Amino acid sequence: MKTKKIGILNGPNLGALGQREPAIYGSKTLADLENEIREAAKPLGFEVECYQSNIEGELIDKIEHWRGKVTGVVFNPGAYTHTSIALRDAIAGSGLKFIEVHISNIYARERFRQHSYTAGVSVGVITGLGFEGYVMGMTYLAQNY
């Protein structure tokens, strides 16, 4: 049986986890997050491929690259959540199942963060549950697709 794979996609500034605004995002790093997700994926029989970029076009390229290669994608678009119609269109046209995640609760933050262009083309949105939101999204994709 071929091993199943889920993509974990992180947008701008998430490479600075552990250093950037720890009162909001915590003290764990992106490497810590990726390790937690990989460990949670093992008992589900899934592999994960993690990717982070601060560049919108690179995120779109990764979505296109994953088409037909991953079961689904857990995606934290970062600030592009609130600005990028291009990412929304890439998700909509990919044929992949997406779970949008946010470490902080975007609805409890500044007004401009409370709108998501990508939520409407995602299977679901998990916001405010920290790193656990990624594990929940990955688990949902593994169990349902």
- What local confidence, expressed as pLDDT, does residue 3 receive? 53
Query: Tokens 């697709």 — which residue?
Result: 145
If phi over 0 gives left and psi between -120 and 50 gives alpha, with beta otherwise, what is residue 74? beta
Strand partners for 9: 51, 75
Region of poorest pLDDT, from 13-17, 47-51, 108-112: 108-112
What are the residue numbers of the active site? 25, 102
For residues 82-91, one letter each, b for 16 or more C-beta atoms within 10 angstroms of the residue's C-beta and e for the rest, the string is bebeebbebb
Residue 74 phi/psi, 5° resolution?
Answer: -100, 120
Predicted TM-score (pTM) of the model is 0.94
Report the distance separating Cα 69 and Cα 77, nearest Å.
20
Instruction: Report the half-sphere exposure of 47 (CA within 13 A, side-chain side).
Output: 7
Walk me through the domains of the chain, giving residue ranges and CATH numbers.
4-144 (3.40.50.9100)
- What local confidence, expressed as pLDDT, does residue 125 receive? 98
Q: What is the dihedral of CA 62, 64, 70, 73, to 10 degrees?
A: 60
Look at 2 and 133; give whichever has higher pLDDT.
133
